[in-house]
A and B are shown apart, each in its own frame.
Chain A
């Protein structure tokens, strides 16, 4: 069961397997916002946690693929036990690593036997200090409260927000049609619509959500259309209808032939 941790309106997914399941099986991408373990001091590739759009989190909760939780806390009753277990784990792990290190060294010495014999007369080799072991993270059991995403709360302020409802309906509809959606703030829209995984495909549309009764100033239309054309994407105006469907209008800047 996938668990999505929610805090102050931000939905985070930890765990590489969870992220993989979401992306490959459910078509929900999210964005990586943490430091990458292999290279934490660069910005080109980021690592876990995976940040989900509020619409993505809500969709996952609705279809039952994930549980939204809030405030995970380690079990306080197990504190002393956990500390003892931690120290014991450290010791045993250290011993085992030392054994492995000695073994590896022995093997290496065997390989380089002749070189060593040549230099043995000169140097005097004492027993080498056991190397420091590496450190592993020790996870503890944590329990969290499930979040009721139907009602607004400090951790989930989106419930009941009309803008969020609007975007969610558009998101859900496009997702059900098989598109891959990511945040479109960079391109002046609400979502970027991809035909497949964003890793390999370019976006086709910049989706902008409008409420059915809202007036749409022409200047907004022009600026949105211009933006879309400049990045070679079609502007998609989406507005959810009262009957449940969503009406789409696409806009492409055309010159007179």
Chain B
């Protein structure tokens, strides 16, 4: 029932009236509630080879056809309440949802500017499924109109839509390709979270928490019973303030790395002191990570990771640490001033000389293998400069002449052998352990992988073939999160059957873009979709050792 155009606006001359679909009357709509829901079985018996004009064949054919036309002629009937209204805006090329999304929102669509949106192919698929009602200029679109409008060339074309709907009908979750979500294998190895939104949220949260409250998670230090001769600047009084905390602790470099991640809060509360690092002997010159256990000020850590806001109270360039190394021993340590120490701790002066003598006194007990190794390596470990002849050489040329002379002396009485000839043997006798090794020496071709040799030059050129979709498996639907979809099952490139096979450069570029996710090529041939993929394959080595 097409209303005849009574308006004076004429269509252009020669324009053809496109027949419209059938409108169901209210009676038909009401009757559609009770129509058949099941699909009839496909086969009507075996197919026949030759038509013989018999009645039986004709009848069967008629039945098949009738069933087909009945199925095709059915119009979609949905309850109005179950339809989600959506609006198509050709300028943006997206569909905006006007009422709340249904179950499909879990795997389809995206949020933008506070509104729920769908990509054109998703909207068209949902329209075909009968989940949404698509409006354009206040009138609902029929599927015919939607095909015409939504599948323009600028958006994903007809071929892409065919592949998309095919995969969606099979149950896969299909999203548009997002190159930013590709996580390199290195990142995955380090367990870095993918997606900047996710990680930045987490980081921000953690940072905020750290900044807001002072670090109360410091472990209680173990108060030392015996005051060890810790390194203390004896010339300067390291005023540890009136807090009841033990002396300075020197830290080893390992703890420094842990500390560097913490943001220091220069709050005025008392810091429960860190667990002191027992550095026996104190023979090291620290990199300056000194930690005051009881200081109320911020930590004077002048390592790079610290973001200390205030300047440290002590100027470490002026504080001299005693050097107790063997080249300049300062082994007499005076007692610290009693007012610097807490009340119940007594300190005394110490002479560390006997301690230093005892260092490295114990004989290293090498295992048998290590001993043999040392013995084997030792003969060659001789100092070049200890040779008097080398000492006599005054220049590099003289040295090289000396080497040449020595080599000639060594070899002048050697028997003629294969290695003196211009053409030397391929392998040393000890090397040829198996035929495989021999063959490897003469191999001309090396195995290479598809992603080898991909550099910037290759990535810049953008051919016509691009990755279209990320595919996720059907069984992960319940745990699928649009913001953090995880690693896709496969990525899809779509091309028509008549287009040429992609060349090696395109293949390399696409596999590199895809990362370690398998790449599948979907070829659409007049409604038939075939999937192909290229896989790295290593030829097995044919020889048994």
Chain A interface residues (CB < 8 Å from chain B): 1, 3, 5, 7-8, 10, 12, 14-20, 23-24, 31-45, 47-49, 51, 53, 67, 69, 71-72, 74-79, 81-83, 85-86, 92-94, 96-97, 100-101, 104, 132-146, 183, 185-186, 195-197, 199-202
Contacts and interface: CB of A to CB of B under 8 A. Distances in A.
Given A44-B42, A200-B64, A10 B158 contact: yes
Nearest to A79: B137
Q: Which of B15, B30, B157 has the most CB of A within 10 A?
A: B30
B2 A139 contact: yes
A14 B143 CA distance: 10
Contacts of B535: none
Given A53-B526, A185-B525, A197 B61 contact: yes
Nearest to B149: A73
B272 interface: no
A35 to B, nearest CB: 4
Given A14-B21, A185-B525, A195 B69 contact: no
Interface in B62-85: 64-65, 68-69, 71-81, 83
A83 B138 contact: yes
A162 to B, nearest CB: 13
A135 B83 contact: yes
A8 B153 contact: yes
A183 B526 contact: yes
B372 interface: no
> Which 9 pairs, one residue from A and one from B, show the smallest C-beta to C-beta distance?
A139-B20, A77-B9, A185-B525, A96-B26, A35-B128, A16-B73, A16-B72, A183-B526, A31-B527
Contacts of A202: 47-49
Contact of A85 (B3, B20, B166, B170): B3
A19 B79 CA distance: 28
B16 A5 contact: no
B77 A146 contact: no
A251 B519 CA distance: 37
Given A24-B65, A35-B128, A134-B32, 17 more contacts: A35-B125, A38-B74, A69-B16, A72-B148, A77-B9, A92-B26, A134-B77, A134-B80, A135-B29, A135-B79, A137-B24, A139-B20, A186-B530, A199-B64, A200-B44, A200-B57, A202-B48
Given A3-B16, A3-B19, A142-B18, A201 B51 contact: yes
- Interface residues of chain A: helix, strand, loop or mixed (majority): mixed
Contact of B147 (A12, A45, A137): A12
B23 A138 contact: yes
A75 B27 CA distance: 29
Contacts of A74: 145
Interface stretch (B33-41, B348-356, B459-467): B33-41
A122 B19 CA distance: 56
Contacts of A8: 153, 157-158
Contacts of B9: 75-78
29 contacts: A23-B65, A36-B72, A39-B39, A43-B170, A45-B42, A45-B71, A67-B16, A69-B18, A77-B7, A83-B139, A85-B3, A97-B26, A132-B80, A133-B26, A134-B30, A134-B79, A137-B24, A139-B20, A140-B139, A142-B20, A143-B11, A144-B16, A145-B15, A185-B525, A196-B51, A199-B64, A200-B44, A200-B64, A201-B48
A240 B166 CA distance: 37
Contacts of A40: 128-130, 169
Interface string B121-160: 0000100111001000111101111011001010001100
A146 B50 CA distance: 40
Nearest to B143: A34
Contacts of A132: 79-81
B165 interface: yes
Contacts of A136: 23-24, 26, 29, 75, 77
B60 interface: yes
Contact of A200 (B24, B61, B137): B61
Nearest to A163: B498
B169 A42 contact: yes
A42 B525 CA distance: 20
A199 to B, nearest CB: 4
A195 B15 contact: no
Contacts of A53: 526
Given A35-B165, A43-B169, A200-B60, A138 B139 contact: yes
Contacts of B15: 143-146
B12 interface: yes
A196 B128 contact: no
Nearest to B126: A40
A75 B507 CA distance: 46
B532 interface: no
B162 to A, nearest CB: 6
Nearest to B141: A137
B29 A43 contact: no
A37 B48 CA distance: 29
A56 B194 CA distance: 50
Contacts of B21: 14-15, 137, 139
B17 interface: yes
B53 to A, nearest CB: 10
B128 A51 contact: no
B497 interface: yes
A145 B42 contact: no
B425 interface: no
Contact of A51 (B125, B129, B527): B527
Nearest to A83: B138
Nearest to B68: A199
A250 to B, nearest CB: 16
A200 B45 CA distance: 9
Nearest to B79: A132
B528 interface: yes
Contacts of B23: 136-139
A32 B83 CA distance: 26
A200 B153 CA distance: 37
B70 to A, nearest CB: 9
B265 to A, nearest CB: 57
A35 B29 contact: no
Contact of B75 (A37, A79, A104, A144): A37
B376 interface: no
A42 B165 CA distance: 10
A2 to B, nearest CB: 9
Contacts of B130: 37, 40
A196 B77 contact: no
A36 B71 contact: yes
B69, B72, B137 interface centre (most CB from chain A within 10 Å):
B72
A32 B42 CA distance: 15
A133 B80 contact: yes
A82 B32 CA distance: 25
Contacts of A45: 39, 42, 71
A20 B66 CA distance: 9
Contacts of A199: 61, 64-65, 68
Given A34-B128, A200-B60, A201-B48, A93 B72 contact: no
B14 interface: yes
Contacts of A15: 19, 21
B5 interface: yes
